[in-house]
């Protein structure tokens, strides 16, 4: 885990989703016909498999101790890239290599919403590689940090989305993972929780772990990351120091909407 040595290597990564039951472009003219005519002619849309090329030929190397922001417009492939690096989606082409266990528990974790927060703390802790004893030792800290109070004894299905996100974040950062990945939804926490999250991220970084942060908040990216990957339509269009990349990204908005 020495700072300066590679933590994540992504080489020529392509991710293509297959969407089943979608209308294939060009094969269906039904949409252009008036409703009555469509009903009379019974011309139904052709259901088929549609490919969505969400990440296209992306390559980068991130070293231990780096905090990397991922920015880009809606649908540009940020979350998909993060999930692929976490090993949750197999690459269609290319390779992803990670030193250590990436933890995307931050927000997208599949916790069991039918179970109580308390049970999910145990499950999440075990998933992070902690022993049951370590989870018990850290239990109070995790629950305190999440700030969900007595709700911990209720099923997670009764939580607001912000409460769920806070508990996931608290669990995911309890084990100081080698590679912590945080997706946008973290921003659902209130201002006080966000301030505590930033402190916790700074603490994790001091432990020479690697941080990936997907966010639409350029302020959050500026505050937490020294390097930024800018994604656009699945491609990595810029990779460099935060100031440079965020400035170029903001300028591209101004050009698009002067
Ligand atoms: N499970 C999925 N199945 C099919 N297509 C998907 C799936 N998830 C994402 N996509 C598509 O992949 C593309 C990239 O989506 P992704 O969620 O990675 O973008 P994003 O940059 O994180 O977007 P946002 O900023 O809106 O969260 C989009 O076209 C999206 O519709």
Q: How many CA atoms lie within 13 A of 27 on its CB side?
A: 10
- In the block, residue with structure tokens 């290599």: 97
Atom 18 of ligand 1, nearest CA residue:
77
CA angle 80, 86, 89 (to 5 degrees): 50
The residue ranges of every structural domain in the chain are: 64-256
- With vertex at residue 136, the alpha carbon angle to CA 193 and CA 147, rounded to the nearest 5 degrees, is 15
- The burial of 256, by beta-carbon neighbours within 10 Å (0-12 exposed, 13-18 middle, 19 or more buried), is given as exposed
Distance CA 180, CA 195 (A): 18
2 Cα to the center of ligand 1, angstroms: 33
Pocket test for ligand 1, best of 80, 213, 235 (most atoms within 8 A of CB): 80
Q: Atom 9 of ligand 1 has which residue's CA nearest to it?
A: 80
* Nearest C-alpha neighbor of 189 from the set 157, 160, 155, 216: 160
Would you say the CB of residue 115 lies under 6 angstroms from ligand 1? no
Kindly give the distance from the C-alpha atom of residue 1 to the centroid of ligand 1, in angstroms, as a whole number: 31
Range name among 56-60, 112-116, 174-178 with the lowest pLDDT average: 174-178
Cα–Cα dist 174/145, whole Å = 10
Q: Which tokens go with 47? A: 């259901």
The best mutation among 79, 86, 187, 220 to test binding of ligand 1, ranked by most ligand atoms within 8 Å of the C-beta, falls on: 79
Q: Is the confidence at residue 43, as pLDDT, over 80? A: no
* Distance between CA atoms of residues 182 and 204, nearest Å: 12
Determine contact, residues 128/105, Cβ cutoff 8 Å. Answer: yes
The verdict on the CB of residue 74 being under 6 Å from ligand 1 is yes
Confidence of residue 231 (pLDDT cuts 50, 70, 90): very high
Per-residue model confidence (pLDDT) at position 107: 47
Is pLDDT above 90 for 39?
no
Under DSSP, the state recorded for 151 is G
Evaluate whether 248 touches 256 at the Cβ level (below 8 Å): no
Per-residue pLDDT tens over the stretch 64-107: 889 999 999 999 999 999 989 988 899 999 999 998 777 665 54
Interface predicted TM-score of the whole assembly (ipTM), two decimals: 0.97
Q: List beta partners, residue 8.
A: 62, 98
How far is CA 89 from each of CA 48, 50, 55, 93, 200, rounded to the nearest angstrom?
A: 22, 18, 11, 12, 27
Residue to mutate, 49, 70, 78, ligand 1, most ligand atoms under 8 Å from C-beta: 78
Right CATH number for 64-256 from 3.40.50.300, 3.30.450.20, 1.10.1040.10, 3.40.190.10? 3.40.50.300
Residue 9 near ligand 1, beta carbon < 6 Å: no
Beta carbons of 1 and 100 less than 8 angstroms apart: yes
């Amino acid at each position: 885990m020495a700072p300066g040595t590679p933590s994540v290597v992504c080489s020529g990564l392509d991710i293509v989703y297959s969407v089943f039951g979608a209308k294939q472009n060009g094969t269906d003219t039904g949409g252009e016909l008036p409703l009555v005519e469509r009903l009379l002619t019974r011309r139904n849309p052709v259901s088929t498999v549609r490919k969505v090329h969400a990440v296209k030929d992306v390559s980068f190397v991130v070293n231990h101790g780096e905090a990397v922001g991922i920015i880009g417009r809606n649908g540009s492939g940020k979350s998909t890239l993060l999930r692929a690096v976490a090993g949750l989606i197999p690459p269609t082409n290319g390779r992803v290599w990670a030193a250590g266990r990436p933890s995307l528990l931050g927000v997208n974790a599949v916790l069991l919403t039918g179970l109580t927060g308390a049970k999910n703390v145990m499950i999440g802790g075990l998933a992070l590689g902690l022993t049951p004893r370590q989870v018990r030792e850290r239990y109070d800290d995790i629950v305190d940090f999440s700030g969900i109070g007595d709700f911990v004894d209720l099923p997670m299905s009764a939580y607001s989305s912000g409460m769920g996100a806070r508990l996931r974040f608290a669990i995911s950062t309890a084990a100081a993972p080698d590679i912590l990945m945080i997706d946008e939804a973290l921003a659902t926490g209130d201002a006080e929780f966000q301030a505590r999250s930033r402190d916790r991220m700074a603490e994790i970084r001091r432990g020479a772990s690697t941080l990936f942060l997907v966010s639409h908040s350029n302020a959050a990216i500026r505050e937490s990351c020294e390097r930024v990957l800018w994604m656009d339509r699945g491609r990595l269009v810029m990779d460099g120091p935060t100031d440079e990349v965020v400035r170029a990204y903001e300028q591209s908005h101004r050009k698009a909407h002067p």
